[in-house]
Amino acid sequence: MLDLKFVRENQEAVAEAMRNRNAAWDAALFAKLDEQRRDAIQREESLQAERNALSKQIGELMKAGDAAQADASKARVAEIKDELVAISDTRDKVDEQMRDLLLGTPNMPSDATPVGKDENDNPEVRRWGTPTQFDFEPKAHWDLGPELGIIDFDRGVKLAGSRFVVLGGMGSRLERALISFMLDTHTSRGYKEWWLPAMANTETMTGTGQLPKFEDDMFKTRENLYLIPTAEVQLTNLHAGETLDVADLPKHYTAYTPCFREEAGSAGRDTRGLIRVHQFDKVEMVKVVEPETSYDELESMTADAENILQLLGLPYRVISLCTGDIGFSSAKTYDVEVWLPSYDAYKEISSCSNCTDFQARRMGMRYKDPEHFKGTRYVHTLNGSGLAVGRTMAAIIENYQQIDGSIKVPDVLVPYMGGVEYIRPESQ
């Protein structure tokens, strides 16, 4: 959430940033609510001062024997009490409207975020490896997986519906191997692993910015709990409402969770295979850091995501998302895109974002550093996929396929696969 004082003092800059983000921003409503709020505060303070003066005066009038004037002052104090109740109610309503407005307003883009309208304006930052070349006609993972008996789309539909997938045999083992490999790699680089609930309450979802804006993209239970769209929600909220000590920063966390997304409005987009499904596995990275280090931490987090792909030997590129394409809570984002032969293109497999103090302000997460400042400050939070497991599996199937229809297991995964070096056709 944006700071009210910042918005008030930078209304033109905020309006321009929202235009660059293609985000709705009612500047007139903000100005109106802000004026009403300040008027209410001013009136409240004025009445409180009058009440205090009258209360002091009443005692003096009683001592002087001026009962009539004392009674008049008492009557005015009673009136002020009623007026203060009314003003407090008005201020509460204005504060609620202001909070709703700010809760629905995205983060300010960083100065380093390129200005652009949509994904077509995202500049490429770097590439690693070269697109895989074949001396035979390669197959898409949605064809090769079922032929090998490791992916079953039809049974996924039978069990749950469209955009659900069943993995069997070596497909299931490959999924499990990837999860363990990713977690082991991240923990070896200083991340603390967590095991988390797959459901979150409204407050938790609001803290990271999923609510109220993206409720239509989430699955909700009858108990008003939400199936999490990413472990970012839980990992970032671990310290919601807490004041951390600077000595405990930075915090680097990782977790595997199943993820659930309604994908409202995405019909027709990447609906084949493992790219866009309702339930998928993901290993997530989250950082809680001091403001001064957050952009350096973003670079290292992106490098951690890239490291997984490098170890797997999968070609990829990194792009910097423009203002019209960055996520709601992000100030700056890098997307890591893996090469998928079936698309003859790079597809997103990780998104690493610096959310600055936007999420921390929503969830009340601060830190103290008595040697450098009084009071407390908001931390900065970052999140990144490390990686989306299903998409990684799709990339392995397609990039490591062999002419005989088998799939070579990347060397780094062989120990996690119990020594299996090739995935070959198996019984259905």
Rounded to 10°, the helix 170-188/389-399 angle is 110
261 is a catalytic site residue = yes
The pair phi, psi for residue 195, each rounded to 5°, is: -115, 125
Q: To the nearest 10°, report the CA torsion of 171, 261, 324, 2.
A: -130
Active-site position among 276, 300, 377, 406 = 276
In this structure, which long-range contacts are made by residues 261-267, counting pairs with CB atoms below 8 Å and at least 24 apart in sequence?
261/217, 261/218, 261/219, 261/229, 262/216, 262/217, 262/218, 262/219, 263/163, 263/217, 264/216, 264/217, 265/216
Round to whole Å and give the CA distance between 334 and 154. 35
126 is a catalytic site residue = no
Active-site position among 189, 348, 377, 406 = 348
Residues 6 or more apart whose Cβ sits within 8 Å of residue 21: 106, 109, 323, 324, 326
Compute and round to an integer the Cα radius of gyration of the chain.
Answer: 28
Active-site position among 351, 361, 366, 398 = 351
Provide the 10 A C-beta neighbour count for residue 225. Answer: 17
CA 29 centroid distance within chain: 27
Comparing CA positions, the residue from 309, 274, 314 lying closest to residue 167 is: 274
Active-site position among 350, 366, 391, 398 = 391
Partnered with residue 47 across adjacent β-strands are none
Q: Which residues of 92-120 are buried (b: 16+ CB within 10 A; e: fewer)?
A: eebeebbeebbebbbbbbbeebbebeeee
Active-site position among 51, 163, 261, 366 = 261
The pair phi, psi for residue 345, each rounded to 5°, is: -160, 170
Instruction: Please report, for residues 322, 348, 372, the alpha-carbon distance to residue 119 in angstroms, rounded to integers and kept in the order given.
Output: 7, 12, 41
Rounded to 10°, the helix 141-148/170-188 angle is 120
The amino acid at 239: H
348 is a catalytic site residue = yes
Comparing CA positions, the residue from 58, 54, 118, 148 lying closest to residue 324 is: 118
Residues in the chain: 428
Give the strand order in the sheet containing 366-368. Answer: 243-245, 366-368, 377-378
Which residues form the catalytic set? Answer: 261, 276, 348, 351, 391
